[in-house]
Structure formats: C-alpha cells, structure tokens
Amino acid sequence: SQTIHQWPATLVQPVGSPLSLECTVEGTSNPNLYWYRQAAGRGLQLLFYSVGIGQISSEVPQNLSASRPQDRQFILSSKKLLLSDSGFYLCAATGTDATYGYTFGSGTRLTVV
C-alpha cells in the first residue's frame, strides 16, 4: 500500500515570500501525483497533476507551480505568495490505474499573512 509523507504540517508565511511544499510517496512506483487545495469550508480544488517525472499538468492558472524531480517526489512552489494562497494543501497519489482511489497525505495548513 502507498504512504504519503507531506511536510510541513503548518506554515505561516508573509505575503510576497516564496513557498516550497514537498511530498514523497512510498510503496509504489510510477504513481500519478496530485496537488489539491482546500479552502476553509469548501471542497477540493485540483491544482496540478503529474503522470511521470517532469510531466506536470496545471488545472488552475495562478502563481503556483509544481515540479516532479524524482518518480516519488512532488513539489509545490511559489515565488511570491498572495493572501489568497492561504488554505489546506493536500498531496495525493494513485497507482497508474487511478480507479483504485487516492491515497492522501496529511496536508499542510498554509496561512499567508
């Protein structure tokens, strides 16, 4: 089974500062990887997904970016954070067959001040 390690758990950053959130996956090779954002009291918004190293698809145009430097590593970044970037960020993974469902990380609570 898959295990996702996501860190940090909480983060408070000033507006205009950079961001780097990291996610690593254990227990599977060549996973599909996803970054979701969950605003307070709202559902999940898919930000990025990746089907392989260096392959990133963006779902929502914004000041965030993602990278996949290794098979089981997925990074969410920003050069300059906005207040609207505050939220709960979740990394998720599936095997190459996504129909078996997602495994989620424990999330990062980002507050931009």
Partner 1 sequence: AQSVTQPDIHITVSEGASLELRCNYSYGATPYLFWYVQSPGQGLQLLLKYFSGDTLVQGIKGFEAEFKRSQSSFNLRKPSVHWSDAAEYFCAVIAGGFKTIFGAGTRLFVKA
* Residues of the shown chain interacting with partner 1 in the complex, contacts defined by CB under 8 A: 4, 6, 32, 42-44, 46, 49, 51, 88, 90, 92, 94, 97-107, 109
- Closest CB 42 distance from partner 1, rounded Å: 7
- Find how far residue 6's CA is from the centre of its chain: 9
Residue 8 or 101: which CB sits closer to partner 1? 101
For 111, the enclosing helix (H) or strand (E) is strand 108-112
- Closest CB 55 distance from partner 1, rounded Å: 13
* Contacts for 73 with CB less than 8 Å, ≥ 6 apart: 22, 23, 24, 25
Asked whether the beta carbons of 17 and 81 are under 8 A apart, the reply is: yes
- Closest CB 91 distance from partner 1, rounded Å: 8
Residue 74 or 105: which CB sits closer to partner 1? 105
